[in-house]
Structure 1
Amino acid sequence: MANARFAEAVLFLVGVVMQGFDLVAGGQLAALPEFRRQFGYPQPDGSFLLPAHYLSAWSSIAPACEIVATFIFAPLLERFGRKPGILAASLISTAGVILQQLATDWRVHLAGRGVNGIAIGIMFTISPLWIGETCRPELRGFFLCFFNTSIVFGQFAIAVVARGSSHLGGKWQWWLPIVAMYIFPAGWFFFPESPYWLVRQGRNREAQISLRTVYGFKNEAFYTAEVRRMESENEQELSTRHSHAEGSYKFLGIDMSTEAECFNGTNLKRTLTAVFAASGQQMIGATFVIGYATYFLELIGVKDYFDASVVLYVVMLLSSMGAFPLSEIVGRRTMIVHPQFFLCFALLLIGILGCIPNPEKTSWGIVVLIYIWAIVYQLSIGAVGFVLASEIATARLRSTTQGLVTITNALWGLIMQFTVPYMINTDAGHLGGKVGFIFFGTGSIAAIGGWYLYPETKGISFEKMDELYASRTAPRHFKRAVAAQGEITPHTSKEEGSEHVEGTSSSL
């Protein structure tokens, strides 16, 4: 069983590593002298400068295209399934990488990053949805944390590749990090179709085959029980759908009923929670600390900035892996809410150090704070934010909610990727460590909002979450409500083959 679960993790890892790879690629490429020589302007000292508007455009084009791609492809996921979307992303990504590699003008490189952003938008929508539909409830937290680790691994991989290519001369110094992107579209071809979606289409036999591909062991009773569990969940969803079938909402001739339903009744709070969990990552400084770490460290005068950034990504990767067991031991809310306030405090200290006139005395203090921030971030909102965002929606609205999460996350990414270069670049704001004040402000909003919105979902089935939201229990009291119900309500196993026990009472 352990080997099967590992095989499942590897299958979806390939699909999201590139999101992390691309997120950091702009900052890594900007730190390479040959890349600056190719696209920048010469300076009196013989170096080359990439204007802030180049960096801003390169960084923001991908999340902008992610938003467009999600609007187009998310409504098609329920009709055509997850596999066709994955194949489309593979082909689109290949075209985007070719454009980046062959670019001799900054606008062509911009187009390549935009095309690749479309592929990333598709995969970023499908991957957590596929994980949530394929994993058993008691394993969701573990593997959704692994989703974040896959992204962090991509960030680590581009840092290592860029560090190695920095020793090369000529165009291969900046070509190597781009050519490395070809591996990701090739890996996406090995994804099986979502078994949950196949059950929804009445293709149960194919669903069992897909599950066997994912888990990799021979146990027909297990696969039969899993399909029955998915059938039961689907029947409950259909029952709920019929109760809401009296009205529909169309925009420009497109049926937007499920999108509109995400913002009705108790679904509104669930949608806001999912969106806020993803947005909080950007609001609390992920783009600043993670996306531009190497380039920022160079700007504040750190001599071994490439080595420092590689160590930073190693630290983040190990921290993200540490979130695997903690998400199921400690719980989601505990791992997010209080650490967010600590992250804000670290950003405040970075801002204060940035006010000291002599950067040589403060640069390594800022580096230490960035390392501490990165560790806490990856153990909290960085990893567990994806868990909450993927768990919180009702079964029927899960794919639609994930599309909204992707759009919102990309919108925040667009804002941050567009503005951060202007904050830190020497020909623009040149704020240095004072940029910490900006993210202290936005991060405080994320921390306070999370206190009221984030529930504890550890070990709670989708059905139980439906009951808790329907009873209008405050999300921060979910754990207490389930514990109280457990003391007065007998628990029974609900499904054949289930490895966990759930309460059956719907009253709170």
Structure 2
Amino acid sequence: MVLTRRHVDVDRSVRQDAVDAIQSEKAASFRDNVKTYKKAVFWSLLLSTCIVMEGFQLIILNSLYVLPAFQKQFGTANDKGVYSVSSKWQSILANIALIGQILGLIFSGYMVEKIGYKYTLVLGLVGLGGAITASFVATKLWTLAVGQFLCGIPWGMFQTTTTTYASEVTPLGLRPFLTTYVNLCWCLGQMISSLMLKRASNLEGDLSYKIPFGSQWIWILPLIVGILFAPESPWWLIRQGRTEDAKRHLMRLTTRHYADHTNTKASVNMMFYTNELEKSRSGGIDYLDCFRGTDLRRTEISCNVWAIQIVSGGSLMGFSAYFFIRAGLSASDAFNFQVAQFALGMLGTIISWSLLSHFGRRTLYLFGQAVGLLCLVVMGIVSSFLSGDTASWTAGGMLLAFTFFYDATVGPVCYSIVAEISSTRLRNKTIVLARIWYNILGLVAGTLTPIMLNPDAADLGGKSGFVYAGTALIMLVWTWYRLPETKGRSFTELDMLFDEKTNARDFKSASVHIGTSSNGGTQRDNISLTTRTHRSVIHAVPDEETQPLKAEDGITKAITFTTERMDR
């Protein structure tokens, strides 16, 4: 039974190069990949370092609420003469930065298609330099809010551009490590911020909060200079129709041994083949195309994978110092716990690299969500039935355990999944939409979490773990039924699995083969897909009625794909 029929304008040699490149990537060892792509690793690490700045800033504002100088400058005194920033303004400051990030995400989605990844990041860094000034000189809450809004725009530009770049300049064997490195950058930024805040808490006057704001300027100029020398993504250049530029930039990402004509040509043709395959299916690269056909499912997965970080308790980590104090710890102990928290986060991310080599993305996500759910429930129970130091230290310990398992599974693995799950032509926009959904949920969490923790509001303290345990359970069920396994799959294979509407739980066992078959002495291309429930053979047969299109290398030829499904 014929299910689909689509035209893909590529020559047989291009298809064979694509097959060879995919097989070569799968066969390469980790050591071989690092040796061959060490330049790509360097450039990916450099560009992802932009996220360190955002992780740094994420902790600053939520932690400054416990500094006496900040409270006196921006807070109001109660009847006892104690200064504090109201939960209303805490929510405004947290949420207005998220609104800026949403605008930055939308802006970056368009800018990447126009000017590429590296120049989009440079533009964001230049804007951030001015935005930091607004926060540094602020003396009123509303001026601080303006500064946070302006900072949010470049932060939004960094959030997806770095992840997408990492996924496109590295091969299959390195992709999970370089995309999850983004999570390490978050943890590193939070760690540096916590250490600086601990030292700044001993300072007198406005220097205790101005120094953390101003220290962000140190990062900007070195990053701009470095990024300007970085090669552009070859995938982006292919989408722009710049095949020769793609070859040249791929050679800059690889060693001289790899960058010979044969290897470079095969890799670029694999990119060209995948791009043409996706164009034959939908062709569009607008935001609306993310909600059409099989891309709708891929967008849903990307959005919810990131949403899990918020609704499964991750937002509590951003308010950790405030949470520890509300749980009953002193300010000094709270900052010590916070430093330990992000040290565990960094350790967890490093451990995740080993786990990713042995376990699938889906397996790690399910495990991380289940353990996180358990930590939240224990946190809530302890805070409900115990009191005093025992309850405070136990609740704090549970948040530390939550952080470790989160950053060994859900935190970093999310970046690997969203970088792989979308189609290459829509990857940047799909990740933008997913991050926007993340930030919208962050707006909700940024409003509710201070209310749950603030003694003048709900004052739940550690019992707020129960609230997030409920939403964590819902998302655990979603993961079981909807999240597919992407480990070891090339972008071309993932396209085929989604096109065939393969069940999420069948992705791991599905067998995809791209090769040739013979029919009456005539050779023809075919792609076969076998899962637990069906077997599909996708034949590529010359179509005499289709006019061939020209590519830059002049070797394209029109062929038609038909699909036959046979129930098993």
- What TM-score do the two structures reach when normalised by structure 1? 0.89
C-alpha separation between the residues in 2 aligned to 1:222 and 1:150?
Answer: 34
Equivalence for 1:108:
143
- Deviations along 1:486-505, one digit per CA (max 9) or x if unpaired, are xxx6999xxxxxxxxxx963
Equivalence for 1:40:
75
Residues 131 and 147, structure 2, Cα contact 8 Å, conserved in 1: yes
Of residues 66-75 and 160-169 in structure 1, the stretch that sits farther from structure 2 once superposed is: 66-75
Equivalence for 2:297:
269
Matches within 5 A, 1:71-90: 71-90=106-125
| Secondary structure of residue in 1 paired with 2:215 | helix
Residues 233 and 395, structure 1, Cα contact 8 Å, conserved in 2: no
Of residues 103-112 and 178-187 in structure 1, the stretch that sits farther from structure 2 once superposed is: 178-187
| Secondary structure of residue in 1 paired with 2:423 | coil
Question: 1:236 corresponds to which letter in structure 2?
Answer: T
Question: 1:291 corresponds to which letter in structure 2?
Answer: G
1:291 and 2:308 equivalent? Answer: no
Give the Å deviation of 1:323. Answer: 0.8
C-alpha separation between the residues in 1 aligned to 2:139 and 2:63?
Answer: 18
Residues 452 and 460, structure 2, Cα contact 8 Å, conserved in 1: yes
Matches within 5 A, 1:345-494: 345-356=374-385, 358-482=387-511
Give the Å deviation of 1:430. Answer: 1.2
Question: 2:141 corresponds to which letter in structure 1?
Answer: W
Residues 104 and 157, structure 2, Cα contact 8 Å, conserved in 1: yes
Equivalence for 2:173:
138
Give the Å deviation of 1:316. Answer: 0.9
Identity %: 26
Equivalence for 1:301:
328
2:279 to 227, 231, 241: 241
Matches within 5 A, 1:154-169: 154-169=189-204
Residues 247 and 268, structure 2, Cα contact 8 Å, conserved in 1: no
Residues 11 and 214, structure 1, Cα contact 8 Å, conserved in 2: no
Question: 1:383 corresponds to which letter in structure 2?
Answer: P
C-alpha separation between the residues in 2 aligned to 1:157 and 1:224?
Answer: 45
1:200 to 228, 234, 239: 239
Question: 2:122 corresponds to which letter in structure 1?
Answer: L
Equivalence for 1:225:
263
| Secondary structure of residue in 2 paired with 1:394 | coil
- Deviations along 1:222-276, one digit per CA (max 9) or x if unpaired, are 687346424432343235325536xx8xxxxxxxx63222222222221111111
Give the Å deviation of 1:450. Answer: 0.9
User: In proportion to residue count, which structure has more helix?
Assistant: 1
Matches within 5 A, 1:113-128: 113-128=148-163
| Secondary structure of residue in 1 paired with 2:328 | coil
Change (3 A) 1:88 1:451: same
Give the Å deviation of 1:12. Answer: 2.3
- What TM-score do the two structures reach when normalised by structure 2? 0.80
C-alpha separation between the residues in 1 aligned to 2:463 and 2:407?
Answer: 23
| RMSD of Structure 2 on Structure 1 (CA) | 2.4
Of residues 21-30 and 389-398 in structure 1, the stretch that sits farther from structure 2 once superposed is: 21-30
Give the Å deviation of 1:287. Answer: 1.1
Give the Å deviation of 1:136. Answer: 0.8
- Deviations along 1:51-88, one digit per CA (max 9) or x if unpaired, are 11111111111111111222233123212222231122
C-alpha separation between the residues in 2 aligned to 1:211 and 1:237?
Answer: 16
Change (3 A) 1:227 1:283: farther
Change (3 A) 1:339 1:83: closer
Question: 1:16 corresponds to which letter in structure 2?
Answer: I
1:505 and 2:545 equivalent? Answer: no
1:278 and 2:329 equivalent? Answer: no
C-alpha separation between the residues in 2 aligned to 1:195 and 1:299?
Answer: 50
Give the Å deviation of 1:321. Answer: 1.2
Gaps of 5+ in 1: 249-256, 493-502
- Deviations along 1:382-407, one digit per CA (max 9) or x if unpaired, are 11011111110111211221111121
Change (3 A) 1:505 1:401: same
| Secondary structure of residue in 2 paired with 1:480 | coil
Equivalence for 2:363:
334
Give the Å deviation of 1:441. Answer: 1.1
Residues 239 and 425, structure 2, Cα contact 8 Å, conserved in 1: no
Give the Å deviation of 1:109. Answer: 0.7
2:341 to 305, 312, 316: 312
C-alpha separation between the residues in 2 aligned to 1:441 and 1:474?
Answer: 26
Residues 246 and 268, structure 2, Cα contact 8 Å, conserved in 1: no
Change (3 A) 1:366 1:211: same
Give the Å deviation of 1:148. Answer: 0.9
C-alpha separation between the residues in 1 aligned to 2:392 and 2:438?
Answer: 30
User: In proportion to residue count, which structure has more strand?
Assistant: 2
C-alpha separation between the residues in 1 aligned to 2:246 and 2:200?
Answer: 44
Question: 2:326 corresponds to which letter in structure 1?
Answer: L
| Secondary structure of residue in 1 paired with 2:259 | helix
Residues 239 and 275, structure 2, Cα contact 8 Å, conserved in 1: no
Residues 347 and 436, structure 1, Cα contact 8 Å, conserved in 2: yes
Give the Å deviation of 1:356. Answer: 2.9
| Secondary structure of residue in 1 paired with 2:49 | helix
- Deviations along 1:128-173, one digit per CA (max 9) or x if unpaired, are 1111111112211111111111111111111111111111111111
- Deviations along 1:376-431, one digit per CA (max 9) or x if unpaired, are 11111111011111110111211221111121111111211122111111222211
Question: 1:276 corresponds to which letter in structure 2?
Answer: N
Question: 1:195 corresponds to which letter in structure 2?
Answer: P
Question: 1:14 corresponds to which letter in structure 2?
Answer: T
Change (3 A) 1:219 1:205: farther
Give the Å deviation of 1:211. Answer: 4.4
Of residues 223-232 and 32-41 in structure 1, the stretch that sits farther from structure 2 once superposed is: 223-232
| Secondary structure of residue in 1 paired with 2:174 | helix
C-alpha separation between the residues in 1 aligned to 2:327 and 2:288?
Answer: 47
Gaps of 5+ in 2: 1-33, 517-525, 536-568
| Secondary structure of residue in 2 paired with 1:505 | strand
Residues 243 and 268, structure 2, Cα contact 8 Å, conserved in 1: no
Question: 2:493 corresponds to which letter in structure 1?
Answer: K
Of residues 167-176 and 223-232 in structure 1, the stretch that sits farther from structure 2 once superposed is: 223-232
Residues 41 and 170, structure 2, Cα contact 8 Å, conserved in 1: no
Residues 28 and 158, structure 1, Cα contact 8 Å, conserved in 2: no
C-alpha separation between the residues in 2 aligned to 1:184 and 1:457?
Answer: 34
